[in-house]
């Protein structure tokens, strides 16, 4: 039996997770759900938003469903700490950043589907560990880096103390891994094309390095058409011709931006699912955050979390129930009679989920 760590987290997290689990229950799958703690309460009471017992739970389970977590700026984080924990130099590190780093989750998956008309269905896969977010970010430049920078006229005028530099790290290790992941994902999900979004005509050396790796890795996947496009063109076409894309792979920052654009193309945060996957771990979460202003009102759209559960089921190689769940969500969104406010309806979180569960039962009755 597969096991799933369930971390509802903060704000609307517990509401959308509980709604999604009530639907998952209808699928009657051999899954063991084990609940755990994460988020702002853990930070306030224990000085760590991801307690050790939660890391143990993640080690003992096959994957994880996360609701949402609240993050606040440093000063507010310190103020809200329990009195006995203040002044100890405890530092708030975003739980999702901790998960990605400690579990080495190198791929961020963001499916972008047209729930209303079925006109497009692509996925943005973002490299999570290197690129422009590798952490090689300097303000005040010393030798030997200054030697590389000082001939730029703006740097020459500002001087080393008033210059900052961010290095884009592109390694064969990181690029091969994300490209192979992208090709495998394409094969497994029936996509015939893989687009790498980069900027080869400006970032010539690293862009050419990426092209070489794409050619090498792509040789193992002759059935998938591969291309490199400028990231700005990809952004334009995601909006104008989203149906042209299958799998889109991008380095960390380009992927960060394109994947949020994907949530917009899809129709908003209430709909967009995501997954983070590595060689030895994974977690799945809706793209949206904890939306504290909406928490406790039962108004949050559960669709993003339902599609996240479908992604998680795919990952556990439960492709058939994953498809049934997606079909049920699509049918409910299309019918529009039981959808939440953000889709123009007035259903509550649990009513919307119930309607997906009913739809699921009728899909299963037909297919069963
Ligand atoms: P947010 O995604 O929580 O909410 C932004 C707005 O989007 C909401 O006010 C609401 O209008 C709408 N929205 C979000 N989820 C929705 C849903 N399920 N149904 C309907 N409408 C929905 O982003 P915000 O306000 O910037 O951040 C709030 C907190 O969440 C912060 O503490 C932030 O750090 C955290 N956050 C956590 C993330 C995570 O858990 N991975 C991701 C993004 C933000
Ligand atoms: Mg983002």
Query: Do residues 130 and 145 both lie within one domain?
Result: no
Pocket test for ligand 1, best of 269, 299, 339, 343 (most atoms within 8 A of CB): 269
Query: Do residues 157 and 220 both lie within one domain?
Result: no
Query: Do residues 235 and 126 both lie within one domain?
Result: yes
- Does any ligand 1 atom lie closer than 6 A to the CB of residue 285? yes
**% pLDDT > 90, the chain:** 96
Query: Do residues 186 and 311 both lie within one domain?
Result: no
- Count Cα atoms within 13 angstroms, Cβ side, for 134: 14
Of 99, 167, 92, 104, residue with least CA distance to 133? 167
Query: Do residues 175 and 298 both lie within one domain?
Result: no
Give dist(CA 209, CA 189) in Å, integer. Answer: 27
Q: Report pLDDT for 137.
A: 93
Q: Report pLDDT for 40.
A: 97
**Per-residue pLDDT reduced to its tens digit, 238-272:** 999 999 999 999 999 999 999 999 999 999 999 99
**Which residues surround the ion ligand 2 when the cut-off is CB under 5 Å?**
256, 260
Query: Do residues 123 and 141 both lie within one domain?
Result: no
What is the CATH classification number for the domain harbouring 310? 3.40.718.10
Token reading at 209: 């390095």
Q: What is the Å distance from ligand 2's center to 257 Cα?
A: 6
Q: What is the Å distance from ligand 1's center to 17 Cα?
A: 14
Residue 274 lies in a domain: no
> Phi and psi dihedrals of 307, rounded to 5?
-70, -30
Q: Report pLDDT for 75.
A: 87
Residue 273 lies in a domain: no
Find the mean pLDDT for residues 161-186: 97
pLDDT confidence tier of residue 114, bands split at 50, 70 and 90: very high
Alpha carbon nearest to ligand 1 atom 5, residue: 291
Find the mean pLDDT for residues 49-57: 98
Of 64, 53, 93, residue with least CA distance to 6? 64
pLDDT confidence tier of residue 338, bands split at 50, 70 and 90: very high
Alpha carbon nearest to ligand 1 atom 21, residue: 270
Find the mean pLDDT for residues 17-39: 97
Residue with tokens 């080690």: 59
- 117 vs 11 pLDDT, higher one: 11
Q: Report pLDDT for 35.
A: 98
Query: Do residues 359 and 341 both lie within one domain?
Result: yes
Atom of ligand 1 nearest to the CA of 293: 9
| Mean pLDDT, the chain, whole residue set | 96
Query: Do residues 256 and 175 both lie within one domain?
Result: yes
Residue 245 lies in a domain: yes
Query: Do residues 141 and 129 both lie within one domain?
Result: no
| 346: three-class secondary structure by DSSP | coil
Per the CB < 8 A criterion, the answer to whether 136 and 167 are in contact is yes
Token reading at 256: 């960060």
Alpha helices in 112-251 (DSSP H): 145-149, 153-158, 172-188, 204-218, 231-240
Query: Do residues 130 and 140 both lie within one domain?
Result: no
- Does any ligand 1 atom lie closer than 6 A to the CB of residue 69? yes
pLDDT of 367 over the 90 cut: no
Task: Give the residue numbers spanning the domain of 77.
Answer: 1-107+280-368
Residue 239 lies in a domain: yes
- Does any ligand 1 atom lie closer than 6 A to the CB of residue 344? no
Residue 271 lies in a domain: no
- Does any ligand 1 atom lie closer than 6 A to the CB of residue 68? yes
What is the CATH classification number for the domain harbouring 120? 3.40.50
Q: Count how many domains the chain has.
A: 3
Q: Report pLDDT for 368.
A: 58
| 189: three-class secondary structure by DSSP | coil
Atom of ligand 1 nearest to the CA of 291: 3
Query: Do residues 33 and 66 both lie within one domain?
Result: yes
Q: Report pLDDT for 342.
A: 96
Q: What is the Å distance from ligand 2's center to 37 Cα?
A: 23
pLDDT confidence tier of residue 170, bands split at 50, 70 and 90: very high
């Amino acid at each position: 039996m597969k096991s799933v760590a369930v971390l509802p987290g903060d704000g609307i997290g517990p509401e959308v997770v509980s709604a999604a689990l009530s639907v998952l229950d209808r699928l009657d799958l051999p899954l063991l759900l084990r609940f755990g703690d994460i988020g702002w309460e853990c930070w306030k009471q224990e000085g760590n938003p991801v307690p050790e017992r939660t890391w143990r739970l993640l080690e003992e389970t096959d994957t994880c469903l996360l609701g949402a977590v609240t993050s606040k700026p440093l000063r507010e984080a310190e103020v809200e700490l329990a009195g006995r924990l203040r002044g100890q130099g405890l530092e708030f590190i975003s739980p999702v950043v901790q998960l990605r780093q400690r579990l080495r989750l190198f791929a961020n998956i963001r499916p972008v589907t047209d729930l209303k008309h079925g006109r497009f269905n692509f996925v943005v896969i973002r490299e999570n560990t290197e690129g422009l977010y590798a952490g090689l970010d300097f303000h005040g430049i010393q030798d030997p880096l200054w030697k590389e920078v000082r001939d730029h006229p703006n740097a020459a005028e500002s001087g080393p103390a008033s210059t900052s530099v961010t290095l884009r790290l592109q390694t064969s290790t990181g690029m091969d891994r994300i490209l192979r992941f992208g090709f495998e994902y394409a094969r497994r999900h029936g996509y015939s094309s893989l687009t790498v979004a980069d900027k080869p005509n400006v970032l010539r050396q690293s862009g050419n390095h990426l092209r070489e790796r794409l050619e090498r890795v792509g040789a193992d996947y002759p059935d998938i058409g591969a291309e490199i496009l400028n990231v700005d063109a990809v952004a334009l076409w995601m909006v104008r011709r989203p149906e042209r894309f299958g799998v889109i792979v991008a380095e960390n920052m380009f992927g960060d931006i394109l994947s949020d654009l994907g949530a917009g193309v899809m129709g908003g945060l209430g709909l967009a699912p995501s997954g983070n996957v590595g060689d030895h771990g994974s977690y799945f979460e809706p793209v949206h955050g904890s939306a504290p202003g909406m928490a406790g009102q039962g108004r949050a759209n559960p669709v993003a979390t339902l599609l996240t559960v479908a992604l998680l089921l795919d990952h556990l190689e439960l492709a058939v129930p994953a498809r049934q769940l997606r079909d049920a969500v699509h049918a409910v969104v299309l019918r529009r009679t039981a959808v939440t406010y953000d889709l123009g309806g007035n259903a509550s979180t649990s009513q919307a989920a119930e309607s997906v569960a009913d739809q699921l039962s009728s899909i299963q009755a037909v297919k069963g």
